[in-house]
Amino acid sequence: MTTLCRALAIRERELCERELYEARQRALVLERQLSLLRAELRLLTQSHVRTHRRAHFDALTGLPNRFLLLDRFHQAAAHASRMRTKLALLYLDIDGFKSVNDLLGHAAGDELLKRVAARLLACIRASDTASRQGGDEFIVLLTDVADNGGALLAAEKLRASLAIPYVIAGTAVQMTTSVGVAVYPIEGREYSDLLQRSDLAMFRNKGERASRPSIVGSIKVQSALPQDLSSDSAGVAVHQAAFPFGACCGEPGEDAVAGDLPSGSPSTRTRPTPMEMADSPCAFLQMP
């Protein structure tokens, strides 16, 4: 009897050990399956984020595209209607951008567009939106604009920021910008109406050489830089940089001091240099 009980106990222990082993194996399989599911979910999430970003943001500059801008306009317009405030739609076109592509190559043109986008973001508030429409055209949506004068002041400050020379691959590039302004709800309540008015205003005045925007839209304003760095009709001047421009024009530079020129440099001039006349673009836009 004792031998039988001992044999039964051994058999029961073997069965328990086998069941425990099988349970552990099943747990390992489930763990591997769970790991695969997590990896698949992670890939799906990343794919969704990429798809959402491609659908709502410009691939080159990272700015919101026209679809996301439209959505933000509707939200801002609803808020402005409730609070009885104004919005401003600024249509910006970089003059002579094709000349940059022709002279420096498309890679330099892409870099210039990225720099323009960075300056726009640095000059607007978190509640505003800077968007790339395609090519060299940008739109800035300004919220809580006090009056028409505030919209014009903002347009002028943005234009002045973009007029500061860019340094791309050792070459200084100075651009001018045409800006069209339309104010909600004065010049329309629909996005399409405001976009059309600002676009037409910008093109209508693109060839003019006035110094300030007008409320009907804006005019292309001349750069505040010396004329020997300004082109005639192209709206762009390109020349080799004799020194790194550094923080004075918002571009990266090594140990650069604003306005310093090497002795004997052909760029040395008695009147103030463009760098001495320019401020950091980040300090430009303060909405009234």
Catalytic, out of 136, 228, 232, 279: 136
136 in active site? yes
Task: From 233, 73, 219, select the one nearest 155 (Cα to Cα).
Answer: 219
HEC secondary structure over the chain? CHHHHHHHHHHHHHHHHHHHHHHHHHHHHHHHHHHHHHHHHHHHHHHHHHHHHHHHECCCCCCECHHHHHHHHHHHHHHHHHHCCEEEEEEEEECCHHHHHHHHCHHHHHHHHHHHHHHHHHHCCCCCEEEEEECCEEEEEEEEECCHHHHHHHHHHHHHHHCCCEEECCEEEEECEEEEEEEECCCCCCHHHHHHHHHHHHHHCCCCCECCCECCECCCECCCCCHHHCCCCCCEEEEECCCCCHHHHCCCCCCCCCCCCCCCCCCCCCCCCHHHHCCCHHHCCCCC
Active-site amino acid positions: 136
